[in-house]
Structure 1
Amino acid sequence: MSIDLIDAQVSSTGQFEILSKYEINRLSSESRGSQYQTFRNCSLAVLNSGGFMDDGKELLETFANFDISVVPTERSIKLQLKNAPASAFVDGKIISGIAEHLFAVLRDIIYVNSEITGSKLHDLTSSQGITDAVFHIMRNAGTFDRVRTPRLVVCWGGHSILSEEYDYTKQVGYELALRHLDICTGCGPGAMKGPMKGATIGHAKQRDRHGQYLGVTEPGIIAAEAPNAIVNQLVILPDIEKRLEAFVRTGHGIVVFPGGAGTAEEIIYLLGILLHEENKDQPFPVIFTGPPSATEYFVRIDEFIASTLGKEARSRYQIIIDNPQEVARQMSVGIQEVKSFRKATDDAYYFNWKLKVANEFQQPFIPTHESMLNLALHKSQEPYLLAANLRRAFSGVVSGNVKNEGIRMVEEYGPYELRGDSSIMRSIDIMLESFVKQQRMKLPGKEYVPCYKVISK
């Protein structure tokens, strides 16, 4: 298949329009430094927004000759693109939304990264230091509004879902927006795009011109979930753990649509945090929902949670099938409880400082064959700690499915091995096998080859 390529210069947008000489020189030099490859790969993913590839390895191989560099000007900078996907341009001019997202990549990968990792002000070994770093990144991206009341709904779900499930996510987004609620997603296609698309109509009907469509991603997953066109604020966190913390600290409630292992990872992460003793009184509405075709997915998720994390975990969410209006009503009610709680405790509306996120959920987990094999998958620990390890297991499966480095590792060394208590291993195996049968582990039409093996001790 022939792919059209283009060379172009892109003028700066937003906060990059007015820069000091120091900032210009810094961006120019650091963009070709240690973070260049990450900067390049994330920029390519943004340029491929709406494209046909959701495989990070395939994308990088297809556009192996793509290059991006920062060109200094007298008062600002430009981005020089070589061999870029022509689909990002109209009549030779880059699409405005894609240009904005390109400069968001520059901001978060080059500018902010040097402030976080290269500064003694952020202790990334401590829990508070990591939370402060997440706050710094989100604030620098302009996502906070001090006077805005709680209205941000995080929507999770798969990037490759059935057409009726995608239509359902649009209906839910529409109903949420009619109630003046905003949308935050992982910013990609499928269940991440649908709620935003539906919300644009709901906001338009309510003449709500201040709708927020926040996309939160990270470098390892952005190729598979490139930002969709509706995202009007894009933030790229350094790793999956900080991305997940950004979701739960900036969102006021979470709606979960059907997905695959990645959605299961997000669910287990969230429940693990809510199971912590310090969060037991914290209101946080969580709803699992979808059309009738999603019933089996949530039945398997619910059974898995019951068999591994227990009744308390199940009490922290609702399951509502095929009723977008009820989802929106329940979420609206739940967010009012969040507002009352934040007001009573004098916590910020825009960032949940009081939520306890244990260090086990914050430290980056790098899936390797050794780290996956050594996960503590047993019940002789606090439920929230078991949840932290289960989350890591699913993170590894996601890596082996769609992330460039994970795919290459599995190709070279074979599937990851998961070992643990027989009951937990059986629950993991049943759930993942059900995802495979439902074609939720890869795009429909592609034969799925498991990147994992489940082995009982």
Structure 2
Amino acid sequence: MQEMTINALVSPEGSLEILSNHEVNRLKDRSEGGLYRLFRQCALAVLNTGIETDDCKALMESHAEFDVRLVPQPRGLKLELINAPAHAFVDGQMLRAIREHLFSVLRDIIYSHSIPQSAAGFRRDDPEDLTNYVFHILRNARVMQAGRQPDLVVCWGGHSISHAEYQYSKEVGHQLGLRALSICTGCGPGAMKGPMKGATIGHAKQRVKNGRYIGITEPGIIGAEAPNPIVNELVIMPDIEKRLEAFVRCGHGVIVFPGGVGTAEEILYLLGILLHPDNADLPFPVVFTGQQENAEYFEMIDKFIRNALGDEAANKYEIIIDDPVRVAQTMKTGMKEVETFRRAMQDAYYFNWMLKIDPVFQLPFEPNHDNMRALELHRDQPVHLIAANLRKAFSGIVAGNVKEGGIRQVQEKGPFEIAGDPSLIKPLEAMLEQFVAQNRMKLPGSSAYRPSYRIVSGAA
């Protein structure tokens, strides 16, 4: 049965009502250097808010007739949507939340592509410039609120989780909401939606009227993880590395629920940063949590981390099983410690300037067959570089699983090959096999998972 579509003319909602002629022309430009294809892809993902899919390529292909056009108006601009998904509308009117997200897409794509061109001396390989880049995008999106005390909990976890795991993530969110804490996730379904949904109830009970449900994503992933309906602030960062930096710069603590390779990538990114000597005394509460049935899952994660990064890395997080109240209390206590530290150091509450991030975690990694095969997965390097290279390996698998470009590469050239020190590679292979066995690679009900990777013997 063919999905119903609608043609509509949409007025701005929330942000970016005025564009320059240059910006309009870039958005209309369908060449490789133009922004049309990127804008269309992200706009289509937003129009599928609440629809659970994890195949960006399939989403694009199923809406091949969709188009979005800019219509200049005397008082600003409108968007003309051709063959837009009908579920984004009610009685012919676009849902307000989707309309807000649609113009957030426009805002972030325009702004993130204008900074490198307009900023004098901007260097894409300079750590300070890259952090300022992240700061300016978040500030332009009004994510940062001066005067607001630390209250933002970043929640990571899988998009493909069981109903019981989802319910647990929702109860954790409920307990966080009862303590007036806000939620930031990757904006998609599963463990990204559950905490937000639970927090809305907790906030309602406590009459919290300024609760925040921030979704931070990037163009390569938004089609596979369209925003869930709870997100009330959407931000699209230019790439996965800036998305991850945005999480740790604006968040005040992290909760990790069960997940697959994307969650493993996030864990390795975070631990690699926290292991930097300059961050040794910086308070940043991190909790791994799940139901009793997830105890073995976190034992597996903990064992992998200790083998790859050592016991020092394991000291950076606490594992709490089947106790949402304790998880929320731990985060609330952590927020107070963050507030006290930031005040003493005269650092901003809204952006963690003091956090030291090594450039290896900031520079974009392009997942392709050559780069994946060349990853330095060996122990003859500092521990933070081991974390960085393992993070890249997981990032490549994510791309091959759900990102349009990665899926296409795997279809054309076969799985990405991963090689390295057996003491790192064998545990990696075992964990990936468990992710597959536990259906953490694809959404339930989707086609059978075909691995986007292949572990090969011998060092790279």
Report the counterpart of residue 212 of structure 1 in structure 2. Answer: 212
- d(CA) in 2 for partners of 1:240, 1:225: 13
- 1:442, CA displacement in angstroms? 1.1
- d(CA) in 2 for partners of 1:421, 1:124: 31
Counterpart secondary structure, 1:42: helix
Report the counterpart of residue 359 of structure 2 in structure 1. Answer: 359
Report the counterpart of residue 399 of structure 2 in structure 1. Answer: 399
- 1:25, CA displacement in angstroms? 2.5
Residue 214 of structure 1 contacts residue 233 of structure 1 at CA under 8 Å; is this kept in 2?
A: yes
Residue 15 of structure 2 contacts residue 104 of structure 2 at CA under 8 Å; is this kept in 1?
A: no
Residue 170 of structure 1 contacts residue 196 of structure 1 at CA under 8 Å; is this kept in 2?
A: yes
Residue 297 of structure 1 contacts residue 435 of structure 1 at CA under 8 Å; is this kept in 2?
A: no
1:40 aligns with 2:36: no
**Structure 1, residues 281-303: CA drift from partner, whole Å, max 9, x if none?**
11110000111232232121111
Report the counterpart of residue 455 of structure 1 in structure 2. Answer: 456
Counterpart secondary structure, 2:226: coil
- d(CA) in 2 for partners of 1:261, 1:39: 27
- d(CA) in 2 for partners of 1:179, 1:386: 37
Count of residue pairs the alignment pairs up: 453
1:25 aligns with 2:21: yes
Report the counterpart of residue 57 of structure 2 in structure 1. Answer: 57
- 1:337, CA displacement in angstroms? 0.9
- d(CA) in 2 for partners of 1:121, 1:130: 12
- d(CA) in 2 for partners of 1:49, 1:5: 15
Counterpart secondary structure, 1:258: coil
Map of 1:223-372 to 2, 5 A cutoff?
A: 223-372=223-372
- 1:439, CA displacement in angstroms? 0.9
Residue 55 of structure 1 contacts residue 224 of structure 1 at CA under 8 Å; is this kept in 2?
A: yes
In structure 2, the CA distance between the partners of 1:309 and 1:347, relative to structure 1 (3 Å rule), is same
Between 434-443 and 363-372, report the one with greater CA deviation.
434-443
- 1:62, CA displacement in angstroms? 0.2
Equivalent residue letter for 1:158 = G
- 1:125, CA displacement in angstroms? 1.3
Residue 178 of structure 1 contacts residue 205 of structure 1 at CA under 8 Å; is this kept in 2?
A: yes
Equivalent residue letter for 2:153 = V
In structure 2, the CA distance between the partners of 1:117 and 1:189, relative to structure 1 (3 Å rule), is farther
- d(CA) in 2 for partners of 1:394, 1:274: 19
- 1:118, CA displacement in angstroms? 5.1
Map of 1:420-439 to 2, 5 A cutoff?
A: 420-439=420-439
- 1:112, CA displacement in angstroms? 3.4
Between 222-231 and 346-355, report the one with greater CA deviation.
222-231
Give the alignment's TM-score, normalised by structure 2: 0.97
Report the counterpart of residue 91 of structure 1 in structure 2. Answer: 91
- d(CA) in 1 for partners of 2:352, 2:400: 32
- d(CA) in 2 for partners of 1:16, 1:423: 51
- d(CA) in 2 for partners of 1:115, 1:317: 35
Residue 155 of structure 2 contacts residue 183 of structure 2 at CA under 8 Å; is this kept in 1?
A: yes
- d(CA) in 1 for partners of 2:442, 2:263: 13
- 1:119, CA displacement in angstroms? 3.6
Equivalent residue letter for 1:418 = I
Counterpart secondary structure, 2:338: helix
- 1:306, CA displacement in angstroms? 0.8
- d(CA) in 1 for partners of 2:129, 2:293: 42
- d(CA) in 2 for partners of 1:295, 1:401: 26
- d(CA) in 2 for partners of 1:42, 1:295: 37
- d(CA) in 2 for partners of 1:210, 1:121: 38
- 1:229, CA displacement in angstroms? 1.4
Gaps of 5+ in 1: none
- 1:12, CA displacement in angstroms? 1.0
- 1:433, CA displacement in angstroms? 0.5
Counterpart secondary structure, 2:254: strand
- d(CA) in 1 for partners of 2:16, 2:75: 10
- d(CA) in 1 for partners of 2:347, 2:195: 28
- 1:117, CA displacement in angstroms? 4.6
- d(CA) in 2 for partners of 1:89, 1:145: 31
- 1:120, CA displacement in angstroms? 3.0
- d(CA) in 1 for partners of 2:193, 2:400: 24
Residue 46 of structure 2 contacts residue 101 of structure 2 at CA under 8 Å; is this kept in 1?
A: yes
Counterpart secondary structure, 2:456: strand
Gaps of 5+ in 2: none
- 1:72, CA displacement in angstroms? 0.6
Residue 15 of structure 2 contacts residue 100 of structure 2 at CA under 8 Å; is this kept in 1?
A: no
- 1:16, CA displacement in angstroms? 2.8
- d(CA) in 1 for partners of 2:304, 2:137: 34
Equivalent residue letter for 1:207 = R
- d(CA) in 2 for partners of 1:233, 1:224: 19
**Structure 1, residues 225-277: CA drift from partner, whole Å, max 9, x if none?**
11111111110000000000000000000000111000000000000000111
- 1:114, CA displacement in angstroms? 1.7
Equivalent residue letter for 2:339 = K
Residue 53 of structure 2 contacts residue 443 of structure 2 at CA under 8 Å; is this kept in 1?
A: no
